[in-house]
Amino acid sequence: MKLPDTSRSMVDWRMSLEECRATCSKNCSCTAYASANVSGSASGCIMWTTDLTDIRWYEGDIGQDIYVRLAAADIESQSNSHHTHLAAIILVPTLTIFLAVCGACYVWRRKKREHYINVDEEKQVKDMDLPLYDLDTIREATKDFSIDNKLGQGGFGPVYKGKMIEEKEIAVKRLSKTSVQGVDEFMNEVMLIAKLQHRNLVQLLGCCIQGGERILIYEYMPNGSLDAFLFDETKSMLLDWPTRYNITVGIARALIYLHQDSRLTIIHRDLKAGNVLLDEDMNPKISDFGMARIFGGEDSEANTRRVVGTYGYMSPEYAMDGNFSVKSDVFSFGVLLLEIITSRKNRGVYNSAHHLNLLGHVWSLWNEDKAMEIIDKSIEHTYLVSEVLTCIKIGLLCVQEQPRDRPTMTMVLKMLDSNYNALPEPRQPGFVASRGSSTITQLSSTNSLSMTILEGR
């Protein structure tokens, strides 16, 4: 380095470089010092007490060394910076390794927990004598869950069509990672449907619990769900009145089986058009038992703080207070029956002046003796007027506000018999106003309820 301008510096040829350093450190005005001997020997002393000017840097070993004096604060700052840098060099890799170890432990414990859960679930399934399918078999059957094989999407997750090696067609329900239903609902459905055998209930063929996947394998219903027909202007024309009537009777028989003819009392809690599947002959089969509840002995009703179901099908006492019983399913059946007759969704608004939903609209026309106006036009000339009017009346009786005023499903099946003439007169239904209306029927409410609404497909 070329030394700074020395015109204002002090030079002492008698000092050694070490003595020069000591003198500079004692002089508060000293800003730098250097050896006065350009030959390279550390003798002589040059001290600067002013600004250092005309300094030049040379590449290689050309020039002389200069020692610049710094304030203690600057030295401490540089020292701290050095220590901080050193700490960062040490801390960052250490922290990274620590987080990596923690992450690995979390993954390991999660896999271990899932393993134990899967083993426990598999044991429960085996105890039910239900076939367990290998995940690779299901992937092959559905072409690795191809979007082309997807049949629909429900609260449980996506449903795929599959074909087994023996050419048997199946429906595969795959529990979604983001599903509002969880493992408990999955096992609930497995345990319930595995024990039930009825021609109007969808048959569970097996399940798959492997690699974090939870999958149900059902018999395939070629005609899909009832809602796909009812609420489609073109497809609804394929449902004449005899077909709709047979579907109604089949659903009623399935509910009777669930409520009283099976070993235990079972309440479905999510009966709707989307959960009624149709086979190749348009026979109905109730599906989706994830929300169902079992009652033993003489019990037939309960209360829950977590209300689950589909808006438009839930009974007033269940939606508002969390109380449910077999009469809750009766209410859902009544809504479904009126939808079957009209091909209209209960959630719609059918009277703009009074914000009436389907129940309110049917009730209004019934009181005005205009009930025939609500019947789906596509079934004209295929029904007996008396039979359809009876079904409308049954639908209204099923959706009465108070559970005690609703018939049992056994009584409903008797009413559906054309020879039954002792039908009582219905009263105003519960929930006659559309969603969001301020004129909804007066009902009590409970602040401690949490509601999960499962929208229809």
User: Does 232 lie in the same domain as 325?
Assistant: yes
Residue 99's pLDDT is: 83
Who has greater pLDDT, 309 or 375?
A: 375
User: Does 293 lie in the same domain as 227?
Assistant: yes
Query: Could you say which of 21, 45, 69 is where a domain stops?
Result: 69
Q: Are 279 and 285 in contact (CB under 8 A)?
A: yes
Task: Confirm whether 122 is domain-assigned.
Answer: no
Full residue range of the structural domain in which residue 205 is found: 128-220
pLDDT band at 124 (very low <50, low <70, confident <90, very high): low
Question: Which range is least confidently modeled, 15-19, 331-335, 375-379?
Answer: 15-19
Whether the pLDDT of residue 445 is over 60: the answer is: no
Strands across the sheet containing 66-68: 9-16, 43-48, 32-34, 66-68
Active site residue 144: no
Residue 60's pLDDT is: 66
User: Does 252 lie in the same domain as 216?
Assistant: no
Residue 147's pLDDT is: 94
Q: 326-342 and 358-367 are packed helices; what angle lies between their axes, rounded to 10 degrees?
A: 70
Average pLDDT over residues 230-257: 96
Task: Confirm whether 78 is domain-assigned.
Answer: no
Other beta carbons within 10 angstroms of residue 296's beta carbon come to 8
Secondary element (H or E) of residue 245: helix 241-256
User: Does 200 lie in the same domain as 254?
Assistant: no
The whole-model pTM stands at 0.69
Average pLDDT over residues 252-273: 92
Secondary element (H or E) of residue 280: none
User: What is the distance between the alpha carbons of residues 318 and 255, in angstroms, rounded to a whole number?
Assistant: 18
Number of folded domains in the chain? 3
Burial class (CB in 10 A: 0-12, 13-18, 19+), 385: exposed
User: What is the distance between the alpha carbons of residues 32 and 30, in angstroms, rounded to a whole number?
Assistant: 6
Single out the catalytic residue among 12, 74, 148, 270: 270
Task: Confirm whether 449 is domain-assigned.
Answer: yes
Residue 412's pLDDT is: 96
Structure tokens at 359: 């129940």
**Digit-coded pLDDT (tens) for 165-220:** 888 999 999 988 766 566 777 787 787 788 788 999 999 999 998 878 899 999 99
Task: Confirm whether 422 is domain-assigned.
Answer: yes
User: Does 178 lie in the same domain as 256?
Assistant: no
User: Does 205 lie in the same domain as 152?
Assistant: yes
Whether the pLDDT of residue 352 is over 70: the answer is: no
Query: Could you say which of 178, 196, 220 is where a domain stops?
Result: 220
Residue 103's Cβ-side half-sphere holds a number of Cα atoms within 13 Å equal to 6
**Digit-coded pLDDT (tens) for 377-433:** 999 889 999 999 999 999 999 999 999 999 999 999 999 987 777 889 999 998 776
- Provide the β-strand partners of residue 9: 48
Whether the pLDDT of residue 38 is over 70: the answer is: no
What CATH number should be reported for the domain holding residue 318?
Answer: 1.10.510.10
User: Does 434 lie in the same domain as 374?
Assistant: yes
Pairing state of beta strands 306-309 and 293-295?
unpaired
User: What is the distance between the alpha carbons of residues 317 and 300, in angstroms, rounded to a whole number?
Assistant: 15
Structure tokens at 332: 């859902």
